[in-house]
Amino acid sequence: MTGSEEKDFSVKNPNNMRDSARNEKPRIGVFVCHCGVNIAGFLDVEEVTEYAKTLPNVVFAMRNLYTCAEDGISAIKEAIKEHNLNRVVVASCTPRTHEPLFRAACEEAGLNKYLFEFANIRDQCSWVHMNEWAKATEKAKDLVRMSVMRASMLEPLEETTISIYPATLVIGAGVSGMTCALSIASQGFEVYLVERENEVGGLLRSLHSLAPTVADPDRIISRYLERIKSEERIHLFTGTTIKSIDGYFGNFDVTLSLSDREERFKVGTVVVATGADEMKPDGLYGYGKLSGVITQGQLEILLKENRTGELKDVVMIQCAGSRGQRVSYCNRICCMVAIKNAIAVKERFPEARVSVLHNDIEVYGVIQEKWYNKARSLGVRFRKFSPEKPPAVSESGDRLSVNLFSELMNREIEIPADVVVLSSPLVQTHSGMELAKMLRVPLGQDKFFFEAHVKLRPVDFATDGIYVCGTAQGPKNVAESIAQAHAAASHAVNPMRQEKVNAEAINSYVNQEACVGCGYCAWVCPFGAVRMVVNEEGNLVSEINEALCKGCGACAAGCPTLTITTKHFTEEQTLAQIRVAFPQPSKPGEDFEPQILAFTCNWCSYAGADLAGVSRFQYPPNVRIIRLMCSARIDPLYVLEAFRRNADGVLMSGCHIGDCHYINANLQTERRYFALKEYLEQIGIEPERLQLAWISAAEGEKWASAVKDIVEKVKKLGPIDKSKLRYKESERHPV
C-alpha cells in the first residue's frame, strides 16, 4: 500500500473512558433477570433482588423481565446516570454470550466496560437445579454476592491500540491458500503467498477429478495461477520455507528462506493454509507389505495418469486408520472419495467388480447421496463389516484375497481382488506442526490447528491476527476449503481496513521494582510475551509485551514474589470471591452437604458448565464456580484459601491436554495439581478433596458427572477437621 512506510505502526495506550471509578468508593448496581421462566420458573428472583440490596456497596438493585432486551439495556444506562453507578452486576445467563452486550451498554452510559461483572444464575443455576427451588435460590444469592464482591475490586482498564500494517502473509498455496490470497488482494491489500513445494495446488495436484462437478483439477489450478500472476498485489514464493515470524498482531516480521537468498518483510495479519497429508497406513491390511494394497490418494494418481492397467476386481476398505485405529476422528471426506473413485473405475471398466467395505457410509447432503445411488446403479457393492471383525487381506497366488465376515449372512466370505484400496485419513503435516511452534498457536488432540471457538470464532486462533483455513484445520472437501478461505480472508482484512484495533486489556504486567529476575515467567509463557532485560540499576528483571500477552495468567500464578498481576483477574478480585462463597462452615452429621468451589477456564470447562445448563443436565447445587481465563491461573493460594474459607472440596478444571487455548498453559495446571495434592496431605487435608477434570466446551454431561463425583467423594470424607491442620495463615506459595 502506497505510503505505508510513513505510517506509525506502534502500540499506544489511550485513555478512552473516564476512570474516576479507580479512586471512588464503589457504587454498585445489580440487575436480576427473570429471563421469562428460564430463571424465575426455578428460583425466587424477587428474593434474590431484595438480597442484593443488602450487600456492601450496592446502592441500587432491580429485576427485569429480560435484561438483554431493549428496555433492560435502557434501564441499565439510566440507572448508571441516575444513581451515579460506577460498577454494574447483571445476574442472568452467561458472559460467554451476553457480556459484550452489557459492556457496550456501560460504555454508552460513560462507564468503563471493565467495571461490569456477570453472575451466571441461569446456565449454571436455575437450569441445572430445576427441581430444587430453595437450594437454587440460595445458590443464586451466593453467586450474586460473589459477583458483587468481585465488582467492588474491579478497576477501569485501558485497551492497547495497535496500528495494523496493511499486508497479509498466507502460508500454503493449495486451493484454500490461493483463494484466500486472491480474496484479500481483490480488497486492495498486499499478500505474500508462500508455498514449500515448487508448484502451487497442494493436494489438488494429485486428484484426477473433483466430485460432484467432475471438474479437471489441473485446469482449476491453471486458472488460479493465471489469476495470481496477473494480480500485482500478490507476491508468490514457491519452493520457499519460513525461517521466522516475529512480532505481534499488526506488526509481524517475516523472514523467508529461498534457495539463493533470504527475503524479509512486514505484515499485519497471517493466514495458515498449510493443508494436510494423506496418512500412510503402514501395517494395516497389508499396506507396505503386499504390492496390490494402495491408498485412495495413490489410486487417484493412477487414474490421473492412466496407469491402472486392466482392473477386474477392486476392493475398497473404508476407515483404514481412522475412527480409533490410528486416529480417533472420522475423516468425513473419504466415503465420498471412495464413491467417486469407484464410479471412475466402473466407467473405465464396466465389467469390473467393485466392492466398498465399510462400517458406515457417511455422505453429506443431497448431491453426495445422488453419487452414492449412482455408484449402486453402476453395480458397486457396499458391504458392511463390524469394527470388531475387520476384513483381512492376504495373497492368493498372483492376486489378493479379502476375507470379510458378513453380518447379513452370518458367515465369512472371500472376495478376490486385483487391487485393494484403503481409504485412509488426512493428517497434519510435519511442517504444520513446526509452524504451530513458530507461531505459538495450538494444535488440537488430532494435531490439526485448533481454532479459538468452533462456533463463535471458527477461523481465528486465540492469538490475535492469525487465522486458519482449509485442511490445515481438519479434513474437508474442496468446496468447504474455499468457503473457509473466504471467511479467513474476511477476518484478516477487517483489522487492516480499520488500520487500528483495540486489543483486549486482559493481560499481565510486572512490578519491576520487586522482580528478582528468576525467569520463571519467561519460561512458562506460552506466547513468548515475557523477556528478561537489565534495568537501569543493572538488575535482571522481566518485561511483558502487552501486544503478545493473552492474559492466561500462568506467569502470575507461579510468580514466587507476587510481582506479576493479570489485569481483570487479579488476586484481590479472585480472593474476594473465594472469601464470600461460603459464609458458614458446612454442617456435620447425617445431613452433611459438602461445599465445593470450582475453578474453570473461560474457554472450555466454563463453557462445558454452560452446556450442562443448556442441556438441562441436573447435578447437586453444592458447587460455586469461579471463572478464570485459563486453568493455569489457578494460584495455589486460591486452593488453600478455599479450604480456609469453608470449602470442603475444590475442583480444578480446564481444557483437555493438547486442546489448551493458550497452547500448553494447562500443563502448568497439571503440575500444580499433583504438587498441591502432596502438600495438602502434609498439612492434614485429605488429597481426595482436590480434584482435576479436563472438560471441553462440548462436554456438558462430563461437567455434571465431575460435580456429582466430587460431591460424593467429599460427602464420604465429611467436614474438614480444622483442629488437625498444619499450615500457617501467612503461607503463600507452597508449590
**pLDDT at site 722:** 79
Q: Which of 620, 721, 735 is nearest to 677 (CA)?
A: 735
**pLDDT at site 10:** 43
pLDDT above 90 for 7: no
3-class secondary structure, 443: strand
Per the rule left: phi > 0, alpha: psi between -120 and 50, beta: everything else, 629 is alpha
Mean pLDDT computed over every residue of the chain = 93
Strand arrangement of the beta sheet that strand 466-468 belongs to: 234-237, 190-194, 167-171, 269-272, 466-468
Asked which of 62-71, 270-279, 336-345, 404-413 is least confident by mean pLDDT, the reply is 404-413
Confidence of residue 456 (pLDDT cuts 50, 70, 90): confident
DSSP for 142-178, please give it: HHHHHHHHHHHH-----PEEEEPPSEEEEE--BHHHH
Question: Do residues 195 and 238 lie in contact, with contact meaning Cβ atoms separated by under 8 Å?
Answer: yes
Confidence of residue 731 (pLDDT cuts 50, 70, 90): low
> What are the phi and psi torsion angles at 535 (to 5°)?
-80, -175
C-alpha cell at 348: 473405465
Q: Do domains 17-157 and 569-735 have the same CATH topology?
A: yes
Determine the average pLDDT of the residues in 81-88: 97
**pLDDT at site 462:** 81
Question: Do residues 632 and 589 lie in contact, with contact meaning Cβ atoms separated by under 8 Å?
Answer: no
**pLDDT at site 408:** 83
- Give the domain ranges of the chain: 17-157, 167-276+428-501, 279-425, 506-556, 569-735
**pLDDT at site 19:** 46
Q: What is the pairing mode between strands 167-171 and 251-257? A: unpaired
Tell how many helices (H) and how many strands (E) occur in the chain.
Answer: 19, 33
Supply the CATH classification number for the domain 279-425: 3.50.50.60
Query: Which residues have C-beta within 8 Å of that of residue 575, sequence separation ≥ 6?
Result: 637, 638, 641
Q: Which of 721, 714, 696 is nearest to 620 (CA)?
A: 714
Determine the average pLDDT of the residues in 351-362: 95
Distance, CA of 52 to CA of 119 (rounded, Å):
12
Question: Do residues 427 and 276 lie in contact, with contact meaning Cβ atoms separated by under 8 Å?
Answer: yes
Distance, CA of 465 to CA of 451 (rounded, Å):
12
pLDDT digits 0-9 by tens, 663-705: 899 999 999 999 999 999 999 999 999 999 999 988 999 999 9
pLDDT digits 0-9 by tens, 146-163: 999 999 999 999 988 899
Q: Which residue has the cell 507461531?
A: 439
Q: Which of 310, 321, 534 is nearest to 422 (CA)?
A: 321
Query: Which residues have C-beta within 8 Å of that of residue 649, sequence separation ≥ 6?
Result: 594, 595, 596, 597, 689, 690, 691, 710, 711, 713, 714
Distance, CA of 316 to CA of 296 (rounded, Å):
9
Give the number of residues written for the chain: 735
> What are the phi and psi torsion angles at 419 (to 5°)?
-145, 140
**pLDDT at site 728:** 59
pLDDT digits 0-9 by tens, 163-193: 999 999 999 999 999 999 999 999 999 999 9
C-alpha cell at 86: 460506577
pLDDT above 70 for 1: no
Confidence of residue 11 (pLDDT cuts 50, 70, 90): very low
Supply the CATH classification number for the domain 17-157: 3.40.50
Determine the average pLDDT of the residues in 419-429: 97
Angstrom distances, CA of residue 272 to CA of 104, 246, 520, 698:
32, 15, 31, 25
Instruction: Give CA angle at 171 (504, 302), nearest 5°.
Output: 140
Q: Which residue has the cell 455422505?
A: 363
Supply the CATH classification number for the domain 569-735: 3.40.50
Strand arrangement of the beta sheet that strand 160-163 belongs to: 11-12, 160-163, 500-503
Query: In whole angstroms, what separates CA 19 from the centre of its chain?
Result: 33
pLDDT above 90 for 502: no
**pLDDT at site 109:** 97
Select the more confidently predicted residue: 409 or 302: 302
C-alpha cell at 166: 496493511
**pLDDT at site 431:** 94
Question: Per the confidence metrics, is the pTM higher than 0.85?
Answer: no
CATH fold group of domain 506-556: Alpha-Beta Plaits (3.30.70)
Query: In whole angstroms, what separates CA 447 from the centre of its chain?
Result: 13
Question: Do residues 236 and 193 lie in contact, with contact meaning Cβ atoms separated by under 8 Å?
Answer: yes
Determine the average pLDDT of the residues in 260-287: 97
Q: Report which residue type is found at 145.
A: R
Q: Which residue has the cell 504390492?
A: 291
**pLDDT at site 618:** 98
Q: Which CATH class is domain 167-276+428-501?
A: alpha beta
Distance, CA of 309 to CA of 295 (rounded, Å):
16
**pLDDT at site 429:** 96
